[in-house]
A and B are shown apart, each in its own frame.
Chain A
Amino acid sequence: MSQSRNKMTSCLAKVFFAALFLFSSFSMSAQSSEATEVANEVAAAEKHQEKEGVDLKEMIFGHTGDAYSWHITTVNGHPISIPLLCILYGQNGLDVFCSSNLGHEGHYTEYKGYKIAEEGNDAGKIIELSTGKRPWDFSITKNVASLLISCALLLWIFLSIAKRYKENPMSRPVGKQALLEPLIVSLVDDIIKPSIGKNYKRYTAYLLTAFFFIFLNNILGIIPIFPGGANLTGNIAVTVVLASLTFILTNFTATKAYYKEIFWPEVPIFLKLPIPLMQFIEIMGVFIKPIALCVRLFANMFAGHTMVLILIGLIFIFGQMHVAAGAGISVLSVLLIVFMSLLECLVCFIQAYVFTMLSAIFIGMGQVEEHEH
């Protein structure tokens, strides 16, 4: 008993340290961009949970990760979830079926030769039973469903606003239009125009879409019930795509002066010949910039979600120890969760803003003109 209590205490300390670490990194990560930071976070999160009886790890990764069905709640051991569509291309060709055929967590069932792996590298993903490998998986997972919902929402919002602008061009803005107009104006006038310069019009479509896509999905991410709670922007696949698009736009529409600064920068000759030191640093910079962009957004959103989940998890860990302890800590936890959620609301905006601003700045760097000497 005392041994288990000791274990519990040490585990709690770790949880607290992890929480503190996440919190500090979270508040700093708006400026910092190191990928290692995230790796550390993940390692810390994983390490402290391996020893733990309460499946905090399961809970956190279950909530922040992807899933084949949209889990809402579990009543008496029966999960209530919205089944989604599985689209797989395996050895038997294309298979499309409803995810409810695969069973639910803890009771995965085999269907058409596919099953959700319970352990190993592909745990939680569909594998082919015959080979034990992943098929080409284009399933409408929870994240994809959320992506489709957010795209539909964005289309509806902005096409209806655009319609209103076309129909009543000179009247005062109302409704959604009045809400979003200041945001659009400030993005275009304060970020896009000054950062990019005279060619800014080519990039407004991408930058504005990216901003509102990230902002909406951040917001949807902190709404705990359907259609929110999917943590789309806290998923590395999404941020990789966004950062790649910024990378492509920056480098494929860049001016000659930009490439000259990379391959033949104006520095003393021994820095670039015979060892291409500067070129190496510049080329590294070209790739590090979008990577930082990708990791920053992912880490911030993931960390925010993890923080809230850890705070909720605390209630159950203490509750396992003693009912009173659980009740006591729940007050503190709820207060902290409210605080964190408010902070998250701020972060939702800041991260979307920072992503757009940095993308605009990077694109602007690619638009440098040959300066006079």
Chain B
Amino acid sequence: MSLLTPDFGLLVWMLLCFIILACILGKFAWPAIVGMIEKRGNYIEESLKKADEANAALANLKEENAKLLAEAKNERLEMLKEASRLKDQMISDAKTQAIAEANKIMESAKESIQLEKDNAIKDIRTQVAELSVTIAEKILRGELKDAESQTAMINKYLDEVNISKS
């Protein structure tokens, strides 16, 4: 039995077939398979990394959003506060202004009243003076109807003047 002596025919066939097989698979199968497995591995790894990054970015975004929201809320609160403050201020301003205006009006009213009063008093005084002159004239006329009385009167006045002169 040729158990340990290799059969020549089989040896040749084996060599031929195996080398052809290795060449064909080495050209068309293994590079494609091994290369693609490697490529896919890299792709999966990269995709996972990207997904992680995206997740992180999303988390960041959420945080930022929350922050923005909080900020917006704060701002609104602030604005409301400011508005109410402004309103109060406006009201109080208006009040003080109104009071000042009212005071001013009162002042000017008082002034004009005073002026009117003064004018009236002056008027009254002139009228009173005119009236007194007229009355005095009438009285004088009545008293100085005759020459004697006139002379007496003049004398009297002359005396008075003299006395006052001495």
Residues of A within 8 A of B (CB): 38-39, 42, 46, 61, 65-66, 121, 123, 125, 136-141, 143-144, 147-148, 151, 154-155, 158-159, 161-162, 165-166, 169-170, 181, 184-185, 188, 204-206, 208-210, 213, 235-238, 240-242, 245, 302
Contact = CB atoms under 8 A, between A and B. Distances in A.
B54 to A, nearest CB: 18
Contacts of B15: 241
B4 A39 contact: yes
B26 A169 contact: no
Contacts of A39: 4
B18 A235 contact: no
B22 A236 contact: no
B14 A158 contact: no
A125 B17 CA distance: 22
A138 B13 contact: yes
Given A141-B10, A236-B4, A204 B18 contact: no
Interface string B13-35: 11101111111111011111110
Contact of B25 (A138, A169, A205, A242): A205
A44 B75 CA distance: 99
Give the interface size class of chain B: 35 or more
Interface stretch (B37-45, B83-91, B129-137, B140-148): B37-45
B25 A158 contact: yes
Contact of B17 (A148, A184, A185, A302): A148
Contact of A138 (B1, B12, B17, B31): B12
Contacts, number: 124
A209 B40 contact: no
Interface in B102-151: none
B162 interface: no
21 contacts: A61-B3, A66-B10, A136-B8, A137-B7, A137-B9, A138-B12, A138-B13, A139-B9, A147-B13, A148-B17, A155-B24, A158-B30, A159-B24, A162-B29, A162-B32, A188-B37, A204-B30, A208-B25, A209-B25, A241-B15, A245-B18
Contacts of B30: 158, 162, 204-205, 208-209
B99 interface: no
B98 interface: no
B57 to A, nearest CB: 24
A169 B36 contact: yes
Contact of A185 (B6, B31, B37, B39): B37
B164 to A, nearest CB: 141
A235 B4 CA distance: 8
Contacts of B161: none
Contact of B37 (A147, A151, A181, A238): A181
Contacts of B20: 151
A42 B4 contact: yes
Contacts of B39: 169
Interface of B: 1-15, 17-26, 28-34, 36-37, 39-40, 43
Identify whether the interface residues of B are mostly helix, strand, loop, or mixed.
helix
Contacts of A240: 6, 11
B26 A144 contact: no
Contact of A154 (B2, B9, B14, B21): B21
A38 B2 CA distance: 13
Given A143-B10, A238-B10, A240-B6, 13 more contacts: A42-B4, A123-B1, A136-B9, A138-B13, A147-B10, A151-B20, A155-B21, A158-B29, A158-B30, A162-B29, A169-B40, A236-B4, A236-B6
A181 B4 CA distance: 36
Nearest to A172: B40
Contacts of A138: 9, 12-13
A343 B32 CA distance: 34
A163 B29 CA distance: 8
B135 to A, nearest CB: 133
Contacts of A241: 11, 14-15, 18
Most chain B beta-carbon neighbours within 10 Å: one of A125, A140, A205: A205
Contacts of A302: 3
Most chain B beta-carbon neighbours within 10 Å: one of A42, A121, A237, A245: A237
Contacts of A165: 32-33, 36-37
A155 B17 contact: no
A61 B22 contact: no
B24 to A, nearest CB: 6
Top 4 closest pairs, chain A to chain B, by CB: A205-B26, A237-B6, A158-B29, A165-B36
Contacts of A210: 22
